[in-house]
Amino acid sequence: MGAPPGYRPSAWVHLLHQLPRADFQLRPVPSGFAPQEQEYQQALLLVAALAGLGLGLSLIFIAVYLIRFCCCRPPEPPGSKTPSPGGGCVTWSCIVALLAGCIGIGIGFYGNSETSDGVSQLSSALLHANHTLSAIDHLVLETVERLGEAVRTELTTLEEVLEPRTELVAAARGARRQAEAAAQQLQGLAFWQGVPLSPLQVAEDVSFVEEYRWLAYVLLLLLELLVCLFTLLGLAKQSKWLVIVMTVMSLLVLVLSWGSMGLEAATAVGLSDFCSNPDPYVLNLTQEETGLSSDILSYYFLCNQAVSNPFQQRLTLSQRALANIHSQLLGLEREAVPQFPSAQKPLLSLEETLNVTEGNFHQLVALLHCRGLHKDYGAALRGLCEDALEGLLFLLLFSLLSAGALATALCSLPRAWALFPPRNPSVLCSGSRLSEPLLPAG
């Protein structure tokens, strides 16, 4: 009965992980996650650079297309009665591109919220782990203090009361030794005490970064939505200045889209490498950051039959010490109370302390068991490697769609704009053409 089924890398992780990676000299780089190695960093930068290449190519294509359109086929004179044969096609392709951009924006909003969900799952798992770890420390401290208090007050009183009979004093001393031994064993269980790494701090940092990432994407999505809508409005109203402004804005958003695509692709590739086998990396990193022994960390991070509980020995010893105190107190109650009635009060108080300590001990055993913390680890991994990665892929799709849509729009907008009739206030204001886009102008 090990841990319940935990995290398993998804098909996307496998797919991305199998893509070839290369450094700046185009030598193949192994796809294990190693962000501290220069070669691996170069491989990720190269993935991001591919987006830069895409941006460059699409800019060159747009420039060549527009130059060819301007120089080789001068537009019809504005007063011409027959529209150029490709004119309607240009407007339609522009509209279709902008609608594809809008669909991309919808996908982008979905991906952004999915990524945000995944990251918030990660930080809530970290918060939960922090709660468990601080509960362990708190419980150990409380129990040890309670035992120490009992040793200092009740057991001392008991020894004083029982002084006339040496064998009873010896039994009380035995109980004292056992209580001290139990306290010492318990003290060793507070393994996270003094560890410099705080999951709470990590969760706060992650949430902080995620907040700004989320906001940046929402702004980018809204910017692109506004550009799409205002471009459509400009086309509908045949407003040259609006279309020109929106062409410039489209260029800006095109650059931003390719930039975000580079970031997303590099992050997705890095994340897939991490997610294909996260345990060794997380284990090493946590060991470096916390200085905890590897058997404790593998117990929590792996939590399977192969790894034994590193606290088993201590738990068994404290449990035995507590049981011994109980049987000694039972013996004292039987032997001493008839002769020394004043021993009854400290004995009862000691038994109550023992009961509470045993309750705390069971809670401690439950908290220390790997199940709880390993479940948090699994939830954090699922948040990062399933939801966040999936959201990232949706964002990648959004960037791709919007880059394509904006490139098409940038190619068609100047041509559509060249087809507008000369500025004529009556056209702008009448709206008579606007009102019948699809009906035959009789």
Which residues contact its own copies (rule: CB under 8 A)? 1, 4-5, 80-83, 87-89, 91-92, 95, 106, 110, 127-128, 131-132, 135, 138-139, 235-236, 238, 308-309, 312, 315-316, 319-320, 322-324, 326-327, 355, 358-359, 362-363, 365-369, 371-372, 375, 416, 419-421, 427, 432-442
Rounded least distance, CB 85 to its own copies, Å: 10
In contact, 133 and 307? CB cutoff 8 Å: no
Task: Give a three-class secondary structure readout of 381-403.
Answer: HHHHHHHHHHHHHHHHHHHHHHH
Rounded least distance, CB 127 to its own copies, Å: 8
Supply 283's token pair. Answer: 């284990």
- Looking at beta carbons only, is 157 or 239 nearer to its own copies? 239
Rounded least distance, CB 171 to its own copies, Å: 15
CA–CA distance, 54 with 57 (Å, rounded to integer) = 5
Residue 52 CB neighbours (<10 A):
13
Rounded least distance, CB 332 to its own copies, Å: 16
- Looking at beta carbons only, is 18 or 201 nearer to its own copies? 201
- Looking at beta carbons only, is 316 or 342 nearer to its own copies? 316
In contact, 146 and 427? CB cutoff 8 Å: no
- Looking at beta carbons only, is 98 or 168 nearer to its own copies? 98
Question: Tokens 């969760």 sit at which residue?
Answer: 203
In contact, 273 and 39? CB cutoff 8 Å: no
Supply 390's token pair. Answer: 């999936």
Longest dimension (CA), the chain: 126
Question: Cα angle at 134 between 195 and 365, to 5 degrees?
Answer: 105
- Looking at beta carbons only, is 339 or 430 nearer to its own copies? 430
- Looking at beta carbons only, is 132 or 187 nearer to its own copies? 132
Rounded least distance, CB 69 to its own copies, Å: 17
In contact, 92 and 215? CB cutoff 8 Å: no
- Looking at beta carbons only, is 238 or 257 nearer to its own copies? 238
Rounded least distance, CB 323 to its own copies, Å: 3
CA–CA distance, 27 with 38 (Å, rounded to integer) = 13
Rounded least distance, CB 306 to its own copies, Å: 14
Supply 280's token pair. Answer: 């060794």
Rounded least distance, CB 297 to its own copies, Å: 18
- Looking at beta carbons only, is 2 or 404 nearer to its own copies? 2
CA distances from 33 to 23, 273, 279, 348 (A): 14, 5, 11, 59
